[in-house]
Structure formats: C-alpha cells, structure tokens
Amino acid sequence: MELRNIISIDELNKEQILKIIESTIYFKEVLERDLKKVPALRGKTVVNLFYEPSTRTRTSFEIAAKRLSADVLNFAPSTSSLKKGETELDTIKTILAMKADLAVIRHKDSGFVKYISDNINIPVINGGDGRHSHPTQALLDLFTIYEHFKSMDKIEIAIVGDMLNSRVARSDILLFKQMGFSVFTVCPSMLLPEDMSYFGTENFNSIDDVIERCDVIYMLRMQFERQNRKLYPSVREYNRFFSLDISRFKKMKKGSILMHPGPVNRGIEIDGRILDMEEENMERIKISEQVSNGVAVRMSLLHYLLSQQ
Amino acid sequence: MKIMNTINGKKEKQNNLFIINGSIIDAKARNIYKSDIIIERGLIKRIEKDIKADEVDKNIYKVIDAGNLIICPGFFDMHVHLRDPGFEDEEDIKSGINSAIRGGITSLACMPNTNPVIDMPFLVRYLKMNSYLNDYNIFPVAAITRNLEGENITEFGLLKEAGAAAFSDDGRGIQNSKLMYEIMKYAAQMDVLLILHEEDYTFSENGVVHEGYFSAAKGLEGISNLSEDIMIARDLILAKKTGARIHLTHLSSAAAIDYVRMAKNDNVNVTCDVTPEHFFFNDECIKDFNTNFKVKPPIRSENDRRSIIEGIKDGTVDAIASDHAPHIEAEKNISFNEAAFGSIGLETLFKASISKLHIEEKISLERIIELISSAPSKIMNAGENTVKTGQIANISIVDVNSIEKYTKEMIISKSRNSAFININLCGEVIYTIVNGCLRFINKNKSQGEDFS
C-alpha cells in the first residue's frame, strides 16, 4: 500500500514499519561515511513548518534533508504574515506555491497536521501535533531498540512519566504494541488519562515496580510548568517514586537500556550524574544514540515519501 | 532517651500485671466472658479462667481486681486536636495524652490544623517522635492540601513514609470538585485514607448554629444541613468513580447518614464517624447561648439526632470519635457569634456513649465498645485492636454502672470547653493500660487491690 503521509502511528502497518527500519540501517551507514551525503533527493524542496518552538526536531529534519541533497526552507510563524488576516491554510498554500515537495509540520494543536494534509496536495510528515502524535520520534525510538537488541522479540518496556501531556508516549506505545512489545506505564494518577484502554497498557505506581524487570526504561520529560493547576505535589515526591537515580540505574536489568526523548530535565526525571556517565555507558544509555538515529530515520522517511512519486 | 512512664504522676514500672475477676469484651465476636489476664513485660501472656493466685509472684506482678468491671480493648479516638505544635495554650501533646488516658483512650489520631500545618514529612516525624517519647499511640493525620488552602495536593507518598496514618483538611472543606477528584485518584494510587470534613461554604458562611427552629427563634445565623449533604453526595460520587478509601468524619445530618447507607450498599469504599455531641444533644441545646455547644458541624435537629442513632444501630455509622477541640477560656467565654467552634471530648467519649447509647438506647455494650475501639483501629489500619494473647496490652478497664454528674473540676485537659459539664453521665474509666503500662488508676473508684 502506498504511504503518502506520516501523520500518526495508527496509520502504519507492520510491513511499512519494517521497511522504514530496514532503510534506516542503510541511511545510518551513510551518516558514518566520510562524505555524509547522497544525491537521492537532489532538486527536491522540503519545507519545515514549525508553529511550536523546536530546535532538536527541526534541526534533525533539516540535516536529514540536506544529507539527501534536498533544499530546505524553514518557516517560523512569528516571522510570517499569520497575523495579517490570512488563515493558517492560506499561509501554507502561499509557501507551497513556491513549489515545495514535502512539508514537515509541528503545531501545538492535536489534529492540526491532519487538517493541513487534508487540504494540500504534497506529502506531509508530522513533526509533532499537540498531545496527539510524534511518529518520527517513535520510529527513531523503535530503531534504537532494534539496533541494540538486534531483534524485536519479547521486549518489555516501561514508559515513565507524564502520559497526559506526552505525544511521544502515545506514539511510542502504539508503535511498540504493534511490534509486539510488552509496554507498561509508570505514571502519577493526575498525569494519567482517565481511560487508557485504547493503548492497552498497565500502569504502575512507582518506577521501583519495573526497574529490575524491563529491557527498556523510557523516561519522559516531566514538565512541571505544563501541568494543569500544578497538580503534582513536588519535585522531591516525583524523585521518590518516578525518577531515575543512581541506585535505580544500577538496579536495571542486565543488557537493558535507558532512553529519553530529550531534552532531559536534570535532577527531575533523571539524576544529572547518570547523564554524565553516558560516554562510559554507551551500551546502556541511549539518549545521544537516539538523536543520531533521528537523522537516519528522518532521511529514511523523506526518501520513502518522495521517491514514490 | 526514653521518658519514664508515670502513673498519676508517680514514677513506677507497671508492665507486669495480673488482672483478676474481670469480664473481657471481645468486640469482634461481640461477646463478654469472664477471665483473668496476665500481662508480662507489656505483652498479654495469658487469658485464662481462674488463674491461681499462687502461680503469680506478687513481688513482680501488680494485681488488679477487676471484679464487676469490664475489660475492653483500648479506646481509639480517631479525631483529636492536640493543638501541638502552635497552640500549646489550648493543649499540648502531654496534656492531650493525659486527658486521653483519663478517658480510657490508648490510641488517637491527631488532626493537622496546627501551626505550622502538618503538611511536611518532618512535621509528621515530630508527632511520631513524641508518640515514642511518651510511649503513647499517636497516629498523625497529615494535611490533604498545602497549608489547608485547598489548592495544592501535599506529598502523600513522602508523608505516608514519614508516618502519616491518614490525610485530612479537617476544619476546612475542600470546595473545588475537580481538585477533590484528583485528590481521590492520588489517594487511591498511594493507598492512603482520606478523612473528610464535609462543608460547602456557600451554605455555612456566617452560620454559627444549625439552621432550623432554634436558629430562627434565637436570631442566630444558621448552617443548613445542605452544607454537609451536598459535599457528602459529591464525595461519595467521586469515591465511587476513583475507588479511593474515604472516611467521613463528624456526620451531623439525617441525609448524610442516608447517603452513606446507600453508598455502602453500592460498595463504595466509605466509613464514617459521629461525635457524642451529635447523638447526645439536639439543637435546643443552644437556647441559652452556651458556647460549649457551638461546634462544627452544628448540633442539629432531633430528627437528625434520631437518624444518627438509627445509623449507629444498623451499622451505617462505623465509629464514634470525640473531635476533641480544646479552646482557651477567652475563645469560649465570649458572645455566641464570636466564640470558637468546638468542644473537648477525650474524657467523655466513653461515658457519653454509654449514657446515651447503652443506658438509654439499649445498644449492647459490645457494639458500643466496638465503635470506640476495634472499629476505628481497623479504619486507621492500626491492626486488630482486641484483648488477645500475644498482643501488646492496650486495655481500658471500665465500670459501666457508676453514675455521676460531670463537673468542670474533673477535667484533665488544658481546656475546659466541654458540652457535658453538669450533666449526669454513666460509666467510668477505672484503669488505662497503654502499650503494656498501667498509666491511669482512678483512685476514687479502684477496689483496694494490692499495690505494695
């Protein structure tokens, strides 16, 4: 089946996912060459439409496009004519009239990327929409796990942190479930959606309940400032039940890995000293590896969508 | 360093006891049986009929003759204001404990509306440390919201680890329904008990008494039953939704009892208590503007009082608690409007319950003792509170048949704002044994046993 857009994980089937993972292996190899560039998308133009501030994801897409020899146009809404009476769709159509071939869109509202993609006729990649979806993050996470374990069998993963506000968690859970992983959440009651049956995950009340059994410990960014009414009591209570400290890090299962979508809040979800040990613990701490893999996965996706045409 | 236990002020070691001729209440099985008890180093060693006196060395054991007395599991008062830290002019930990043991109470839960409010782990530890230093069973209740402001949830997990036995914003109602929902979800996650003071401020704003016949007659501003009923209905809905364990304290209205009864039939995880004031008196008590009857929730109508007694009889009410609320003279000896809410109750918890419920309402002694001992202990997760071998001895020995006018001079508490002053009360506490130590002997009523 032809894949036109990457909007959310539920639209991908297993075969497509495996195809993306497979080509990511190739593009990762490209990135390790001396000359990190292939002419695959020469003459194509990728436009980055980021309505929400982002450095990491936007840069990652930009590098990915450039490694494939595409031209990149970065569009930031604050410098646009958004406030001059144009609708968001008008603005986008104006930019597309300049003959862009693919749009990467990030927006604070869930569903915005789908709305735009329904109204324009070029492929769209979701760079993150509201609390809904962040499919490229999920795919790079899956690739990182696959690369480490060399398999996708019997993986147990615990996702720790704020499920309510996290698009990363939603996309990860759906993708991992589709690949047959056992996925657990570890989340305080006030940050857990009322009904998680769509995701089919079991929730635990403390990271101590999962730290010794899981193959992957996936820590989410805990954004105290994003919380509605600041419901969670305190950082130290969070540290006690949900954070990764040195002693918990040492309890992690043999051969297991630590992941985080970045940027880490040092001292909140992860003890800063663990991050400082990353270089000596490359086999366990995969946070930088996730960033590297992000470029390869995005190259793979850009290539997948644009080479079909 | 451990402070020596004292008996009526004198330093004595009293943890080897031989109790003879008494009748033991098994509150769980709801029966009374005659038996002797040997307590050795604080533990209940033997419970047997007719232990021979020559089996027991009188140089080591104190003999207590409990003939005609009833031996009860130690009373557990799950709603007490010790006023410590911050309001030590009204009560402090030591005076509160002395008042409690006078009332046969061997364990108590103290409320967090002190100064500072008990909303941090180190403050819970302060109370636990004093529990240990005084060799008394204090179960600290921590605040639900920071500084009882009804805005930010406290650290349930860390407070529980520090020793908080339950959580309450007692004295304040939590007005925001969404916040209460989040509180209950978190309480369920952290597996903690919420003790809820139910009050909708829009109905209680300037009220000082029950809104009804006597508030109208005396021109005092009323507090409608709705203030309690609405919040109880809300919280029962939320408890059903979240699965949280809630305990509704000092219920005062007929509808509140009905709602709890319905909720229990609907398997909601709810328990409740009432205070002696609310089943002993009705709102007529305020007709002379006696400020000792100014309590919150207010003492309500005769119809409400009858419903509370029905609730006690049919099991809807789980426990009786004093809501011991000491206030200095200046806060009570003042106009009714200006006076503080609350009355003391540690020393009258047993007597008032016996007088009204046993003598007048003919409720069995076993059931009443259950309401003030094993039931609250179970609600507070403090283990099985019964007189049984192998357990640390927490025992109250009482005389059910005595009758005496309660007077101000009898009060041990630092404060004297009792609603029962000058009322004839039945029943008397004769001995109180806390953690295996004899801590109170009623000198006037004890029966000349050997204390050589």
Q: Quick check: B372 and B77 in contact, CB under 8 A?
A: yes
Instruction: Give the model's confidence band at A228: pLDDT under 50 very low, under 70 low, under 90 confident, else very high.
Output: low
Residue B230, token pair as written in the block: 């609405």
- Pick among B152, B179, B183, B184 to test the A interface (most A CBs inside 10 A): B152
- Does B451 map to a domain? no
Q: pTM of the entire structure?
A: 0.93
- Does B448 map to a domain? no
pLDDT digits (tens, 9 = 90+) for B189-206: 999 999 999 999 999 999
Residue B198, token pair as written in the block: 């139910």
Higher pLDDT, B451 or B373: B373
CA distance A232 to chain B (A): 7
The 3-state DSSP class for residue A248 equals helix
Catalytic residue among B26, B119, B323, B399: B323
Q: Say what the pLDDT of residue A98 is.
A: 85
Q: Say what the pLDDT of residue B9 is.
A: 45
Q: Quick check: B150 and B183 in contact, CB under 8 A?
A: no
Interchain CB distance below 8 Å, B155 and A205? no
How many Cα atoms sit within 13 Å of B46 on the Cβ side? 14
- Provide the CATH number for the domain around residue B334: 3.20.20.140
- Provide the CATH number for the domain around residue B25: 2.30.40.10
Q: Which residue of A has its CA nearest to B179?
A: A231
Instruction: Give the model's confidence band at B443: pLDDT under 50 very low, under 70 low, under 90 confident, else very high.
Output: confident
Residue B316, token pair as written in the block: 């809807």
The total number of structural domains that make up chain B: 2
Both B186 and B126 in a single domain? yes
Q: Say what the pLDDT of residue A80 is.
A: 53
Q: Say what the pLDDT of residue B323 is.
A: 98
According to DSSP, the β-strands at B23-26 and B31-34 are antiparallel
Cα(first)–Cα(last) distance of chain A, in Å?
14
Task: Reply yes or no on whether the pLDDT at A1 is more than 80.
Answer: no
B190 and chain A: CB distance < 8 Å anywhere?
yes
Cβ of A177: how many Cβ atoms within 10 Å?
16
Q: What domain range is B120 assigned to? A: 74-379
Angle at A209 between CA A205 and CA A210, to 5 degrees: 115
Q: Quick check: B394 and B383 in contact, CB under 8 A?
A: no
- Does B416 map to a domain? no
Domains in chain A and their CATH numbers?
A: 9-133+291-306 (3.40.50.1370), 135-290 (3.40.50.1370)
Both B322 and B256 in a single domain? yes
- Does B235 map to a domain? yes
pLDDT digits (tens, 9 = 90+) for B10-57: 444 468 999 999 999 987 777 899 999 999 989 999 999 988 877 787
Q: Say what the pLDDT of residue A236 is.
A: 95
Residue B357, token pair as written in the block: 């419920």
Both B97 and B60 in a single domain? no
The C-alpha atoms of residue B409 and residue B395 are separated, in whole angstroms, by: 26
List the one residue out of B340, B223, B314 whose CA is nearest residue B261. B314
CB-nearest to A189 from B154, B155, B188 is: B188
CA distance B180 to chain A (A): 11
Q: Say what the pLDDT of residue B310 is.
A: 98
Both B173 and B304 in a single domain? yes
Is B26 among the residues known to form the active site?
A: no
Both B44 and B135 in a single domain? no
Both B137 and B261 in a single domain? yes
Both B192 and B154 in a single domain? yes
List the one residue out of A216, A200, A271, A264 whose CA is nearest residue A240. A271
- Does B60 map to a domain? yes
Both B55 and B190 in a single domain? no
Neighbouring-strand partners of residue A50: A106
B179 and chain A: CB distance < 8 Å anywhere?
yes
Interchain CB distance below 8 Å, B157 and A241? yes
Q: Which residues contact A150 (CB under 8 A, 6 or more apart)?
A: none
pLDDT digits (tens, 9 = 90+) for B52-106: 877 787 788 899 999 999 999 999 999 999 999 999 999 999 999 999 999 999 9
Both B330 and B428 in a single domain? no
B412 and chain A: CB distance < 8 Å anywhere?
no
A189 and chain B: CB distance < 8 Å anywhere?
yes
Residue A156, token pair as written in the block: 């147990």
Both B304 and B397 in a single domain? no
The C-alpha atoms of residue A130 and residue A118 are separated, in whole angstroms, by: 18
Residue B62, token pair as written in the block: 């104190």
Both B38 and B178 in a single domain? no
Instruction: Give the model's confidence band at B318: pLDDT under 50 very low, under 70 low, under 90 confident, else very high.
Output: very high
CB-nearest to A188 from B154, B179, B189 is: B189
CA distance A237 to chain B (A): 6
Q: How much is the average pLDDT of B354-358? A: 97
The C-alpha atoms of residue B248 and residue B278 are separated, in whole angstroms, by: 14
Say which residue the tokens 């283990």 belong to. B383
Both B38 and B136 in a single domain? no
CA distance B157 to chain A (A): 7
- Does B450 map to a domain? no
The C-alpha atoms of residue A306 and residue A44 are separated, in whole angstroms, by: 8
Torsion angle of C-alpha atoms B319, B320, B326, B330, degrees rounded to 10: 130
Is the dihedral angle over the CA atoms A99, A102, A108, A113 positive or is it negative? positive
Q: Cβ contacts (< 8 Å) between A205 and chain B: which residues?
A: 189-190
- Does B387 map to a domain? no
Q: B379 to each of A238, B45, B234, B249, B442, how far by Cα in Å?
A: 28, 26, 21, 12, 30
Interchain CB distance below 8 Å, A236 and B158? yes
Cβ of A49: how many Cβ atoms within 10 Å?
26
The 3-state DSSP class for residue A280 equals helix
B89 and chain A: CB distance < 8 Å anywhere?
no
- Does B325 map to a domain? yes
List the one residue out of B278, B186, B273, B272 whose CA is nearest residue B236. B272
CB-nearest to A237 from B155, B182, B188 is: B155
